[in-house]
Chain A
Amino acid sequence: MDPVLLFQINPSSGLPIYRQLMDQVRTLIGAGRLTEGDMVPSVRQIAEGLQINPMTVSKAWSLLERDGVLERVRGQGMRVLAAAKVRGTVKERQQTLQPLLEQVVAQAAQLSLSREQVLAAMAAALKELPGE
């Protein structure tokens, strides 16, 4: 898989590159573009393909391994773990969403949207999620 097609990294963003990679891996898994058993590109491939520092890729990959999203396969690289084995309680996973939710709420307040209008928009977006 060509890293350039999979990931879009902005080095000048306020979000560290490793976080961008981690978020995007999770998004790809969520969107079904990466499924259990898929091999993700190696650190070297990503670094060369996206022209970023390999240490940041390494960090992302290690943290994803720690979180149980990826697993290391000897001699071959990193592989996507089954979605069900994603570690963490529901509460913990909800915590991960929290910052994004706060942004949505703040933005909604600026746009003068009511609670019902926000929830309706959320429901429409959720329809995109696989498994709905």
Chain B
Amino acid sequence: MTQKIIQMCHVTKAFGTKVVLDGLNFNLQRGTVTGLLGKNGAGKTTLLKCALGLQTPQSGIITVFGEPARDLSAATKAKLAYVPQEVTLYPWMKIRQIVAYSRAFYPRWNDSLIERLMKDWELGVEERVGTLSTGQMQKLSILLALGHEPELLVLDEPVASLDPSARRQFLATLLEIAISGDRTILFSTHITSDLERVADHVVVLKSGKIVYHDELSALKDSVKRLRIINARALPATMRDLPGVLHWESTDANAVLSVDNFSPELPERLSREWQAEVTVEDLNLEEIFLELHHG
């Protein structure tokens, strides 16, 4: 069984003169729930679209389930699902009809799951798709993606239009999928709290490259903020220190964030700079800000 569900090698994608993905490398492991973080315009949507073969990079190789992304077989497409950021579905169909329509394309479909979700998410079967609000439309597109129980689920900003309770329901469903095993989920978002709850891996996209791709817990373990007080040997500049993301200092005090934290670091710095060192844990939002400083 392939362990790397999606493989992207040296992928460069530009639109005109604007380079969006710059020699990017990315591997998605089977069974993970991976959150893709990046500023607006960092290229998250482009990455996802290239990964699924909807857009072609100028250079690089992309495979999904071992097949080239540009030319996926029907069998592979039956194993994946994509929820785009915005999609206007057939407005004249009723919800039960659009579900039946999607179902007709797939060899396998879980009717009871769809029924349950429609009830939980309050989508009326006889409502016409054209009359739905943005949030309901988003719920519908997610629902249509879950029916054939895909092994790979790719979502682009899936909760952007959902109210907090709808978001919770959706995250609960995602977790259900994660718990039921052997399903891989990749979603882009800028709501870090959702990612913290649901994802086990984080990918940070910055300037067309992936600057971090590892377990979320490892990220939280290695990016920390240190407060230096009453230092007697504070260096003039901390720019050259390995792992420093951002720093500010006055004569004897400083605040710096590092991405290579280890338990002996505070003790070592305390000795080197003859100072009191306290460590601050950073949550994902703060880590994101530190990674994008300057």
Contacts and interface: CB of A to CB of B under 8 A. Distances in A.
Q: State if A and B touch, Cβ cutoff 8 Å.
A: yes
Given A18-B217, A48-B179, A55 B283 contact: no
Contacts of A117: none
Interface string A76-101: 00000000000000000000000100
Given A53-B198, A53-B200, A47 B175 contact: yes
Max chain B CB contacts within 10 Å: which of A15, A16, A19, A59?
A16
A41 interface: no
A59 B280 CA distance: 23
Interface in B127-179: 168, 171-172, 175-176, 178-179
A52 interface: yes
B293 interface: no
A103 B286 CA distance: 20
A59 B263 CA distance: 19
Interface stretch (A6-14, A23-31, A65-73, A122-130): A6-14
A13 B283 contact: yes
A48 B173 CA distance: 10
> A interface, how many residues as a size bin?
20 to 34
Query: Which secondary structure characterizes the binding site on chain A?
Result: helix
Q: How large is the interface on B (under 10, 10 to 19, 20 to 34, 35 or more residues)?
A: 20 to 34
B287 to A, nearest CB: 8
Contacts of B263: 99
B281 interface: yes
A99 B263 CA distance: 9
A99 B279 contact: yes
Interface in B33-57: 33
A17 interface: yes
A11 B216 CA distance: 11
Given A54-B179, A56-B200, A14 B280 contact: yes
Given A55-B200, A106-B276, A12 B281 contact: no
B217 A56 contact: yes
A44 B181 CA distance: 10
A116 interface: no
B123 to A, nearest CB: 22
A93 B259 CA distance: 26
B196 interface: yes
Given A56-B200, A106-B276, A19 B179 contact: no
Given A11-B197, A12-B193, A106-B276, A51 B217 contact: no
A56 B217 CA distance: 8
A59 B201 CA distance: 13
Contacts of A14: 220, 224, 280-283, 286
A102 interface: yes
A19 B39 CA distance: 28
A111 to B, nearest CB: 14
B59 interface: no
A106 B179 contact: no
Contacts of B280: 14
B190 to A, nearest CB: 14
Interface in B182-230: 192-193, 196-200, 215-217, 220-221, 224
Contact of B172 (A51, A59, A99, A106): A51
B281 A53 contact: no
A21 to B, nearest CB: 11
Given A15-B281, A56-B200, A103-B278, A51 B216 contact: no
28 contacts: A11-B196, A11-B197, A12-B192, A12-B283, A12-B285, A14-B220, A14-B280, A14-B281, A15-B220, A16-B216, A17-B196, A44-B179, A47-B179, A48-B176, A51-B171, A51-B172, A51-B197, A52-B175, A52-B198, A53-B199, A53-B200, A54-B179, A55-B178, A55-B200, A56-B216, A59-B215, A99-B279, A106-B276
Interface of A: 11-19, 44, 47-48, 51-56, 59, 99, 102-103, 106, 109
